[in-house]
Every structure is written in structure tokens, then in C-alpha cells.
Amino acid sequence: DAGITQSPRHKVTETGTPVTLRCHQTENHRYMYWYRQDPGHGLRLIHYSYGVKDTDKGEVSDGYSVSRSKTEDFLLTLESATSSQTSVYFCAISETGGNSPLHFGNGTRLTVT
Amino acid sequence: GESVGLHLPTLSVQEGDNSIINCAYSNSASDYFIWYKQESGKGPQFIIDIRSNMDKRQGQRVTVLLNKTVKHLSLQIAATQPGDSAVYFCATGPLPGLTFGSGTQLTVLP
């Protein structure tokens, strides 16, 4: 495994509550990504980071925010969770951000009731 | 928008046979292509990648073929083993953020 830890691994929360997912890496990679995985949609990019305090939106960023205050940590926040945000969330890292592989964590399964 | 699609959602092969998983993409600007394997409860695991200046690349028991003319990518697995049972995804760049296909479930039959 690429030294990526996601926490929590499982979470159940209620609609309207804030939720923060954490991704921690030990590889000192510059680039970090948040994806969500849903049946029939594959993996879709939510947000990514290309350095400390440098982030940008992905394909499905509405309802999500991110922060990166240290190289090793990338946080994903759902300000007010909705049932449509029930999903499996994956963090990924890459060394260069160019044409190089992304390496994924083992995911966080989030259920919004 | 761009899309990446796999030809078959499921594929069953006999143990020891070769497997071929296909993928089509729509974006002519794609210049990076990558295959992942995902086992239940785990994140996608990198298998092999190829850049647009190549049409074939080999790894350990795997080969990726790229046909840019018809925007087609394939993954060949030689001598398929039970441990190869998983969902396989193709994805395309350029980064940031790969565009993923929906996956093919490979089942290896004894």
C-alpha cells in the first residue's frame, strides 16, 4: 500500500450535519485528490490539491469543501450532508501530477440517513 | 463532455486462460492511459499505464494495448489466476484528475 490512511473507514450521519473525512499520507507527495465512487458512475473527482493551501475543484465539487494545511493531510468536508452524498470516498496521491499513477487509499464508506 | 466506457460490465474466464478487458474513450486529447484493479472493500490498485506515444506496454502477466485511431484501450492478462478476480477500471488523463470508466467485473472460474 502507498502509505495512505483514510479516517474514519465507516461513518453514518444524519442529513444536515457537517462531516469531515481525513486523508493522511506518509509519501510526501505533492498532489492529493478526493474521489467518490457510486454504482453506475465509476470514480468521480471531487477536489484536488497541488500543494499546501493550493486546491481546485473537480467534476462533482458542489456541496464539498477541502483544506490542506500540511503536505501530509487533505481534509474533505461536507458542510451539510445530504442523502445524495451517501457514497464511498477515496483519497489518492501522486508524486508529480503529470502523467503518473494515482495511488489510492482504502476508502471511507459514508451513509447519510 | 468526455467519457470513458468499458465494453462489458462482466467477464468470466477459466483459470489459466488469457483475459482481455476492453475500454473505449472519447477525448482525442487524452494522452495518458491507466488500468486499475479493485478488490472488494479496497481502493483501486495501479496495474499498468501507457502514454500516447506508445501502442503497447508489457508488465508482469499484463499487457496494455492502445489504439489511438479508434480510441480503444485493452488490458490483457495472461494465465488468469483466481487472485485476478476483481473489478478492472481504465482511466485517462491528462491530469489533474483521471477520468474513469465504469469497470468490468472479472470472475475466474475453476
At A35-90, the pLDDT tens digits run 999 987 789 999 999 999 999 999 999 999 999 999 999 999 999 999 999 999 99
Average of per-residue pLDDT across B61-65 = 98
Report CB contact under 8 Å: A43, B94: no
Helix (H, G, I), strand (E, B) or coil at B8: coil
Cis-peptide into A18, omega within 30 deg:
no
Q: In which band, very low, low, confident or very high, does the pLDDT at B41 lie, cut at 50, 70 and 90?
A: very high
Interchain contact B100–A (C-beta under 8 A): yes
Report the distance separating Cα A52 and Cα A27, nearest Å.
Answer: 15
Report CB contact under 8 Å: B97, A50: no
Nearest CA in chain A to B99: A44
Per-residue model confidence (pLDDT) at position A1: 55
Interchain contact A30–B (C-beta under 8 A): no
Contact between B89 and A104 under an 8 Å Cβ cutoff? The reply is no
Report the distance separating Cα A73 and Cα A22, nearest Å.
Answer: 7
Q: Give the other-Cβ count within 10 Å of B8's Cβ.
A: 11
